[in-house]
Structure 1
Amino acid sequence: MCKSLSQSLPMSYTCPSSIRAGDLLKSEDERLPFARRIRRRSAGAMGKSELKAMANRAKAKGLQKLRWYCQMCEKQCRDENGFRCHCSSESHRRQMAVFGQAPGRAVERFSGEFLEAFLALLRHGHRGSRVAATVVYSELVADRRHVHMNSTRWATLTEFVELLGRQGLARVEHTPKGWPGSSARGAKDRSNRKDHWLSPGIVVKVMSKSLAEKGHHYYKHKGLVRRVIGRYVGEIEMLESKHVARVDQDELETVIPQIGGLVRVVNGAYRGSNARLLSVDMERFSARLRVEKGFYEGRVLEAVEYEDICKVA
């Protein structure tokens, strides 16, 4: 006759209260919960090397430190040791040899890619709205494959955004917090925005100190543009003295008339149109206009910058 389980055990052995007598017949693996058994078996089948690779991929999903990123190789290292090993690799040395042959070309390529990506975010994510440049930049760097700014020809974000304003790619203004704000310009505005703005019949203010040093009393005086020479030089007839002087457009300023006065849009989407000044926004240095004649007659233009309009004689 078979002995009972309790009779086969030594008299001094006591079963733990957490383990049933039937569990003693199971193997160690069988006593584990089902989910842990699956993970344990998967780990055994996968191997330590594959588990480590999976952990590395999980860590690489997020953004890493900028100083451990190689733009030439588009390689992100997780720590200083990894970056040092990468810099000593043969592939990195080959890329740096290519960079050394034409460093300016590489920097210009990275600058172009950064500019294109920034404007794409500005157009598609914030089209027509006023947004801090830092917000757009944060969205840009959220992509771990983005071109880093330290690989471009711009040292700071402020320098980059000011360039957007100078080239007419975005409307830029300095906020009280000190960071530039920007909004994307439409395609029509960009196509009609030129680096010259003089036209006959407008009233300008002469800001040339060189003429003042020569004894001419034209500084901060107003004059009428009689004709434009080579796009950038205006033949100016002073309103008070009637003297005529040739002045470069860089030494001239636009003049804003009183409310109700006639202005000409000298740059931007409605360049060349004459309009009536309806109101001005002193804080944003912009004006509200109504086009007087031509194809856009009657159209009201909102938030036109001061520098884009000028008084008509």
Structure 2
Amino acid sequence: MLIVASNPSKFIQGYSEQFERAFLENLRRSHTTKRVSAHVVYNEYIRDKHHVHMNATRWTTLSGFVQYLGKTGKCVVDETEKGWFIQYINNDPVAMARQEELKRKHQALLDHEERNRRFIQAQVKEAHAKFGQGNGVDDDRPAPLHQPRVDKVTLSLKPKTSSEAKVSKVVVQPAFGQHAVNAEEEKAPPPPSKGGKRSAMDEIMAEETSKRQRRDEDEERVNRLDYWIDQGLIVKVMDKQVGDGAYYKQKGVVLRVLDKYVAEVRMLETRDVLRVDQDDLETVIPVVGGTVRIVNGLGRGALATLLSIDEGAYSAAVQITSGSKK
């Protein structure tokens, strides 16, 4: 007693550190990052016969200790009608470093897509500037079919009857080896015949289409991975062993991703926080018109609008609204 009385602050500080360390270790081991009542954790802690009593620390009440953990950023705390609730914050440097590495890779992928998009836009702009109107682009195209027919009409010495119009069409058809086109078809330039010369614009468009297909195939291979979970996704628990079946087919939101394959999920109904492997989860499909995120393959990470669902084929049609593919 005399030793304690001679320097009480030193002993109180030491007991406070021991109490805090043991309390947080029990919270981390027993409840991980789940939201749980502070009284439940405290009752579990005092079961240890060798525990440090709170009256030996600088905290006089459990609520004061809980508020201290919240202010120092060691736990997420909130007060309800049922008392204080507490949630452990995992500040493991290894886990945080992995999460930062995933964010950097995702940002690098987005930057690559943006560079590709700008490159394509620059090529299209250059093609328009080089082969636009007034530069003779139409000179390389085959003459439309309506030109010979117009010449015959202009050279006629008498009004053309309907029967003569039919004869005129018959004369034109063998000359080009094709049937006469109607008014709507004449608006678009006909495709080049076999062995015909392609225009420079046609070649550029064909080359751009081929490049785009190759880029899509490359992006599909790069983005087709064996992990798909991402922060912010709404998922559904599909394993009855999770929580002894208490969370089976219950929905939650992914708070963060651990080691690529494990999701930290906050359940929407109970507000509990679980760590679940991606094999025990599935995505939740909204109603038609809702917003979805592409989680694998071409367009991975992009947002899209759900247009239709084919349940028989286990597929859906979407319209991408973000990223380089919109």
Flag whether TM exceeds 0.5 (same fold): no
TM-score, with structure 1 as normaliser? 0.34
The structure with higher relative contact order (CA 8 Å, sep 6+) is: 2
More helix by share: 2
TM-score, with structure 2 as normaliser? 0.33
More strand by share: 1
